[in-house]
Chain A
Amino acid sequence: MIWNWSAPIKPEAETKGRARRGAGQGRTVELNSIQDRDTVASHSSQSPSLHPLRRLRWLGTLLPLLLALQGCTDRSGSDFQWDPPDFRVKGTYYFQPRAAINNFWWSFDLGQCKRDFTRLREDGFNTIILMIPWGGFQTTVNPITYNERSFADLDRILNLAESFDLKVVLRVGSHERIPNDAGGHNWLAATLLTDDEEWAAYRDLFRELAARTKSYSNLLFYFWTFEDTGYTPDLWLHRYQENLQTFQEWLRRRPLWWWNLIWWEENSSYEAIEPPNQNSPPLKPMKLRSFLEFSDELLASRLADPCTAAREGNPQAVVSFQPRAEINWEHDYSLQFELPPCYSFVTTWFSPYQSYLFGDKEKKLDGARTASYVPLHLERTEELSGGLPVFIDQFNFQHFGGHPNEGALSSENEQLEFIENALPTLLEDSLGYALWNYQDYYLNVITNGAFRLGLQEWERPPGNKLVQLKSLPSSHQDVAEIAPGGFLRQSMSVYAGKEYTLDIQARAADGPTRLHILIHFLGTNQFLDTSIPLGPVVKSFRLKVPVPKNSVQLTATFLPREAGQAAQLQEILFYPWIDTGGIYDVEDNPRPELRDIFRRLQGSALGAER
C-alpha cells in the first residue's frame, strides 16, 4: 500500500514555539519514571472520541487554567534533565570485535560482555548503546512477527549491564537487517516511509520493545534516526517505484510550469517527471534540493509515530530522534529537527568532517580548532530543534570514510587534542555522548559465522545428515561438521571492487581432507574456489578475496572434497576491513594515550563520577 499524501504533514502547533533553554528552568525528571504532562496532553488531544463542540466547551472551561499553566504546557522540551541533573551519559555503542554492526545479535558472546563491561566501568563509561535492528527483532511486516530469541538476548544483556551498573540506550529500528518482506534490502529500508503497512509495523516495534523492556530501571531511553529510515535520500530514494510515485504526488502542490521553470525542464505531466539522480550527470542542484525537501517532509510526517508508540508500550518511555545534521544542495534538513512534543530531547552526532558546517573546509583538520566547533554544533542543534537539550550519540574523532574531500583530523595527536578540548564541553553542555566504537571490530558480513545460533542463516542440503552441529571436546563452542556431499552456503552484500579477507578456523573430523570455499560473484560469471588442507588440529586460514568491480553480491559455499573426509568449521569471518578508532584494538590491546584521556576526563567508576 502506498503512503497517502492526504495524511496531515505536521500540525504547526507541534513544531513551533519552543523556547530556548534557560538556566534554572529545568524540570528534574526521574530516570525511567518520567511524568511528562505534555505527553499526556498529547495523547489526549489525539483521542478521536471527543466531538468538536464538546472539546470547545471543555477548553472554554479550562481556558484560564490553561493560560496560567502555559509555562508548563508550552512543550519546549527545554525542561528535560537527568536525575540527578548532573548525570551525564558517558557511553559507547557496544560491539565486539567479532560481533559488530552487521551481525551483533547473531554473534555476540555473553562471556565477552562480562569482560567488556568490567573494563568499560574501569575506563569511566556508564552507558552502552545497543542497536535494535528492525529485521533482527521483527521478522516480518505482514503479519507482524517478532523474533523471540532476539528479545531474550536483549533481556540477557540488559540484566548483565544492570549488574555492572551500566545504563542502556536502545537505537531502535536500525537498518542493518530489515524484515524478510520489507522493501529494499539490508542496510536500505527503501520503502519504509512510503509504505503504510511497513510503517505500521515499524511503529509497532517501538511499542513492543517499550512494553517488553519497561521493567528495566537501567534503560535510559530509546531513540531512532534518519539514518535508518532515509540516510541520504538523494542517492537512492528515487530508485523505488513507490517512492517515485509519492514524489510525483508531492509535486502537485505546485503547478507543473513552476517545477519546469526552476529545474530548467519541459515536463509535459507530473507522471513524466524523472527523479533526480546525483549519480549521473548532468547534476541538477535545484531538482535535488526539491527532492530533499520532499523526503524531509516524508520523514517529518512520520516523526510523531515512534514516540507515541513507545509511550503506548511504556507511558514512562523517554524517546529521542536523530535528525540529519548536514547541508546538502544548500538544504539543511531543518524540518527534521522540529520534533513533536512527545520527544524529550534531540540526538545528534559530531564528526570532525562536520567542520564544514561552520565554514572550515580544510581537509587536514587541527584538533583544537575542530574542538571549538563542538559548542557551535550544540548551539546549532539546539536552535534548529527549538531549544531541546542535546545528546551526542556518536562523538567521533576517527574518520570513517565518506567523501574523498571530507575533512579529517590529520594525526593521532590531533585526535587526542580534539578529545581533550571537546569532551569537557560535552560533559558541561549536553546530556552526554557516546563513542561509535569502544573497541575496533571486523566489519564482518557473515551472519552466525560462529554457529552460536546453530545452523540458522545457513543454506544447506535437505535433511540433517550431511551437515550437523557438534561440540568440540576441547572447547564449549559448537562446530558445523560437513560430510562429503554436504555444504553450507550464505549470500551476502559486498562492496564492488574491494578486497575482502576471509578468516576461517577449521579442522578435519577424521582423516586429512581439503575444504573448498567456492565463491560466486553474483551478476558475473566469475568464481573463486579456494581449497585448504585440513588436519586433526584446528587451524586458522586467512584468504584474500578480491570482489570484481561489477559485483555487489556473492554466495560463499563451504564444502569438503567429495571423495574425502568430513570437515569441521569453528568460525568464519568475512570482512573488507577492520574499523579502527576504538580505545582497544581487535586483539584487546589498549591505545594507552586514548584510554588515559577518557579515564581522566570521565573519571573511572572506581573514582568520582561527574
Chain B
Amino acid sequence: MKIRSIGARLLLLALLAACPIFAVPPEKGDRVCQLSSTLLQDSSRKSQLQLGLKSSETQLTGDWYPPEEDKWRWMGQSAGVHLGLPGDEQATLELEFILPPELLSAVGTVAITLSLDEQFLDELKYVEPGVYTYRGLLSGTQFKNPVTCLQISVGQTFRPPRDKRDLGVAVVRAGLLSPESVASATE
C-alpha cells in the first residue's frame, strides 16, 4: 500500500500516536505537578516548607507519606511541592533530605531527578548515607507564575522490613530562597 497524500500520512501518524500500543507510556509519578490556573496565581503559598509539619500538606502533591517526628516526611517514587516565589527575580532552590544507610544498602546509588513546573532542572546521584542539603541556582526566567511546583522523583524506591511503604527519600524541607542569602552569580 502506498500512501501518497501528505494529509493521509499526517492522519495516519495522528492515529498511531493516539493508539495505546504506540504511545510512550508516562513514567510513574509523571505530571504530579499539574496545577489548576487558580492555584498558579495563589501567591499566598509559602516559599519555604518544613515537610515534617502537618501544616505543609496543603502544598504537597503526589506520593507522600504522613510526617514523622515533626521532622521529615517520606516520599514515594515521585512527589511534588508547591512553593510560592520569594521575589520576582532570581531564586535558589533548597532541598534538605535524609538518605539513611538502609536506603543506600538497598538501592546502591540514590538517583534523584528534580523538575520545576515540569521542566527538567537537575539530576542528583549519591552513594553515601547522610543528611543532604541541595542548593540549585535558578535563573529568573524559569518562573512564569507566583507559584511553582517542584517535582522530586527517585530512580528506585525501597521497602524496609515489616513496612508496606515504597520509600524514595525522606524530605526535611524544601524552599525557594532569595539568592543573596546563599549564592549569587555575576558575568
Contact = CB atoms under 8 A, between A and B. Distances in A.
A540 B185 contact: yes
Nearest to B129: A525
A248 interface: no
Q: Which of B129, B131, B181 has the most CB of A within 10 A?
A: B131
Given A525-B131, A527-B132, A537 B187 contact: yes
A327 interface: no
Contact of A529 (B133, B139, B182): B133
A525 B96 CA distance: 13
Interface in B109-138: 122-126, 128-138
Contact of A528 (B123, B133, B185, B187): B133
B186 interface: yes
B123 A563 contact: yes
B130 A539 contact: no
A561 B135 contact: no
B135 A533 contact: no
Q: Which size bracket describes the interface of A in this complex?
A: 20 to 34
Given A529-B135, A531-B135, A520 B128 contact: yes
Contacts of B34: none
Contacts of B125: 562
Interface in B89-105: none
B186 A543 contact: no
Contacts of B123: 561-563
A258 interface: no
Contacts of B126: 527, 529
Contacts of B184: 541-542
A346 B136 CA distance: 54
Contacts of B137: 530-533, 541
Interface string A542-577: 111000000000000000011100000000000000
Contact of B186 (A525, A531, A539): A539
Nearest to A501: B183
A531 B128 contact: no
A544 B182 CA distance: 5
Nearest to A529: B134
A541 B136 CA distance: 12
B134 A540 contact: no
A542 B181 CA distance: 11
Contacts of A142: none
How would you classify the secondary structure of chain A's contact residues: helix, strand, loop or mixed?
strand
Contacts of B130: 520, 525-527
Contact of A540 (B131, B132, B186): B186
A539 B128 CA distance: 30
A537 B128 CA distance: 33
Contacts of B129: 525
A531 B116 CA distance: 15
Contacts of B136: 514, 530-531
A271 B87 CA distance: 65
A457 B69 CA distance: 43
A540 B185 CA distance: 6
Contact of A531 (B131, B134, B139): B134
A527 B133 contact: yes
A206 B137 CA distance: 50
Q: Which of A529, A539, A542, A562 has the most CB of B within 10 A?
A: A529
Nearest to A561: B123
B183 A542 contact: yes
Interface string B59-75: 00000000000000000
Nearest to A538: B187
A563 B133 CA distance: 21
A553 to B, nearest CB: 15
Q: Which of A514, A531, A544, A563 has the most CB of B within 10 A?
A: A531
A560 to B, nearest CB: 11
Given A527-B133, A529-B133, A514 B122 contact: yes
B111 to A, nearest CB: 9
A529 B135 CA distance: 6
A526 B126 CA distance: 13
A563 B126 CA distance: 14
A452 B182 CA distance: 29
Contact of B122 (A525, A526, A531, A537): A531
A532 B186 CA distance: 12
Given A533-B139, A540-B186, A541-B184, 19 more contacts: A514-B122, A520-B128, A526-B133, A527-B128, A528-B133, A528-B135, A529-B132, A529-B133, A530-B137, A531-B134, A531-B135, A532-B185, A533-B137, A539-B187, A541-B185, A542-B183, A544-B181, A544-B182, A562-B125
Interface of B: 122-126, 128-139, 181-187
24 contacts: A514-B122, A516-B124, A526-B133, A527-B126, A527-B128, A527-B132, A528-B133, A528-B135, A529-B124, A529-B126, A529-B133, A529-B134, A530-B137, A531-B124, A532-B183, A532-B185, A537-B187, A539-B185, A541-B137, A541-B184, A542-B186, A543-B182, A544-B183, A563-B123
9 residue pairs, one from A and one from B, having the closest CB atoms: A525-B130, A543-B183, A531-B136, A530-B135, A527-B132, A529-B134, A540-B186, A541-B185, A532-B137
